[in-house]
Amino acid sequence: MRIPTDSMFQQQLSLMSEQFQRVARLYQQEAYGKKLIDNSDDPVLASQISLTNDFLTDLRSYGQNIITSRNRTSLFESSIGDAGNTVDQIKQIIQSAGSIKTDSERAAMANQLKGYLNVLLNDANTRDSNGDYIYGGFNVGVQPYSSQNGTYVYQGDYNTSTINIGPNSSVLYNESGYRVFGNIPTGNGTFTVTGTAGNTGAAYSTPGSVTNSSNYIADTYTITFVTNSDGKLAYQVVGAVSGQVIPPPPATTPANAPDYVPDSDVTFNGMTLHFYGNPDVGDTFTVAPSQKENVFNDLQGLIDLLNTPIGSDPVKTAKFNQALSQYSATFSQVFDQFVNYKSEVGTRMQVILNQDTLNKNMITNEKDIYSKLSDADPVAIGTDLSQQLFYMQATQDCYLKIQATMMQLLQMK
């Protein structure tokens, strides 16, 4: 018979203690439904659970940003959509104005355009539910556009801000009104054509276009109507930097200037203009690179033009038609800019909706991962608990046998 020793007693007591702790932990896991009661039970698993929970918290926090950004983007959509519709109406008025014969009719058009000006100002000065100006850039508390001494100026900030809607994903939140309503090229978008105020003839031109981009040279050109050596009405073109363009050097100007033919094209340095009517000798037109202007000053200029009486004077009519053709081209640029921006906003909204779906899918996946990491398996716990109780009972039986054997030995003595 094996004789029990003190070390055997200690081993059995230690084993019983460990088994009791395992059983107690299993009971706690069963009660709380969690694998870990204390992080010290499994530090690696505890770290994984913590990281997953943090990521879930971050994902859930994007939910409010999604709502906020969607509401803000809806404001951008409605305001720019309204602005685009308004400019489309303005373009129709411009198209009609060319055939209007009386000053009173043009004045009525100008009055209608004043209403459209207010509509566009309201669109550019749109506020959200907090009273912030959405087109103010960082200056959300400052009205973006207002009239100062008869000129419309941008008072907002030129920077934009974004809002985070998902991991490594953000969309524009505060827009610069200058970028949308102010950074618009005049004329055809490349150059403008203006007649000199002192012109006495009845000629005017179309806005023109770049017909050969490889030959186009940006410069300020002066088209002057002259009499050539044949005694005919002709024209010459001189660039501020390019120098003499028509007639091509070394031909002498104005002697060798080409004849002017009404209702015909004038082409030079990659651009083409179409002229109507008969100019007087000495009349000049300036072709210059487009400048940037806001839509409100453009519209105010159009209103002033329509309010200017011209009667049946052919010279005034020509000047009116020249200015009107430029406004027609300019508002085509405005319309294109608004259409492009509306498309940009639409894409932004789609990004938000797609990210919302992605976030929800990630939350579902991460919740599943979190559950697998942290939630206890009742079946597995029941199996482990049965085994541990069996082992603990066996250990207790062994301990009692050792204790009984020791008592017998002591009685024999």
Tell me: do 143 and 181 sit in the same domain: yes
Whole-number Cα distances in Å, 67 to 62, 70, 133, 178, 356: 9, 5, 18, 26, 9
Taking the CA atoms of 150, 151, 152 and 154 in sequence, report the sign of the dihedral they define: negative
Percent residues over pLDDT 70 in the chain: 77
Tell me: do 80 and 36 sit in the same domain: no
Using CA atoms, how far apart are residues 406 and 403, in angstroms rounded to an integer? 5
Q: Would 92 be classed as within a structural domain?
A: yes
pLDDT, mean of residues 278-302: 98
Cβ atoms 188, 208 nearer than 8 A? yes
pLDDT over 80 at 205, yes or no = yes
Cβ atoms 279, 292 nearer than 8 A? no
pLDDT over 90 at 271, yes or no = yes
pLDDT over 70 at 267, yes or no = yes
Q: Select the more confidently predicted residue: 118 or 38.
A: 118
pLDDT over 80 at 327, yes or no = yes
Helix (H, G, I), strand (E, B) or coil at 205: strand
Using CA atoms, how far apart are residues 72 and 32, in angstroms rounded to an integer? 43
Tell me: do 244 and 158 sit in the same domain: no
Using CA atoms, how far apart are residues 375 and 35, in angstroms rounded to an integer? 6
Give residue 180's domain range: 60-185+331-362
What is the pLDDT at residue 57?
A: 80
How many domains, in total, are found in the chain? 3
What is the pLDDT at residue 13?
A: 56
Give the CA count within 13 Å in the CB-facing half-sphere of 302: 33
Q: Would 368 be classed as within a structural domain?
A: no
Count, residues in the chain: 413
Taking the CA atoms of 237, 243, 244 and 245 in sequence, report the sign of the dihedral they define: negative
Q: Select the more confidently predicted residue: 354 or 60.
A: 354
Strand segments, DSSP code E, in 8-150 are: 145-148
- Model confidence at 282, pLDDT cuts 50, 70, 90, reads very high
Which residues 6+ apart lie within 8 Å of 395 measured at CB?
12, 15, 16, 19
Q: Report which secondary-structure segment, H or E, holds 324.
A: helix 314-374
Tell me: do 134 and 113 sit in the same domain: yes
Indicate which CATH number applies to the domain containing 155. 1.20.1330.10
Q: Would 276 be classed as within a structural domain?
A: yes
- The string over 267-305, giving b where at least 16 C-beta atoms fall within 10 Å of a residue's C-beta and e elsewhere, is bbbbbebbbbbebeeebbbebbebeebbbbbbbbbbbeb
Q: Select the more confidently predicted residue: 27 or 125.
A: 125
Place of tokens 């490594």: 168
What is the pLDDT at residue 243?
A: 96
Tell me: do 239 and 124 sit in the same domain: no
Tell me: do 161 and 87 sit in the same domain: yes
Q: Would 34 be classed as within a structural domain?
A: yes
pLDDT over 70 at 387, yes or no = no
Q: Would 67 be classed as within a structural domain?
A: yes
What is the pLDDT at residue 93?
A: 97
| The dihedral formed by the CA atoms of 257, 259, 262 and 265, expressed in degrees to the nearest 10 | -60
Tell me: do 37 and 140 sit in the same domain: no
Percent residues over pLDDT 90 in the chain: 69
- Model confidence at 1, pLDDT cuts 50, 70, 90, reads very low
- Model confidence at 91, pLDDT cuts 50, 70, 90, reads very high
Q: Would 256 be classed as within a structural domain?
A: yes
Tell me: do 166 and 266 sit in the same domain: no
- Model confidence at 370, pLDDT cuts 50, 70, 90, reads low
Of 326, 209, 327, residue with least CA distance to 267: 209
Taking the CA atoms of 271, 277, 283 and 285 in sequence, report the sign of the dihedral they define: negative
Choice among 151-160, 303-312, 340-349, 385-394 with the minimum mean pLDDT: 385-394
pLDDT, mean of residues 175-185: 96
Using CA atoms, how far apart are residues 309 and 317, in angstroms rounded to an integer? 10
Average pLDDT of the chain, as a whole number:
86
Task: Annotate 174-203 with DSSP letters as a single string.
Answer: E-BHIIIII-EE-TTSSEEEEE-TT--S--
Q: Would 303 be classed as within a structural domain?
A: no
Q: Which structure tokens are listed for 158?
A: 């030129």
pLDDT over 90 at 329, yes or no = yes
- Model confidence at 122, pLDDT cuts 50, 70, 90, reads very high
Tell me: do 133 and 81 sit in the same domain: yes
Tell me: do 46 and 72 sit in the same domain: no
Tell me: do 206 and 232 sit in the same domain: yes
Tell me: do 178 and 101 sit in the same domain: yes
Q: Would 374 be classed as within a structural domain?
A: no
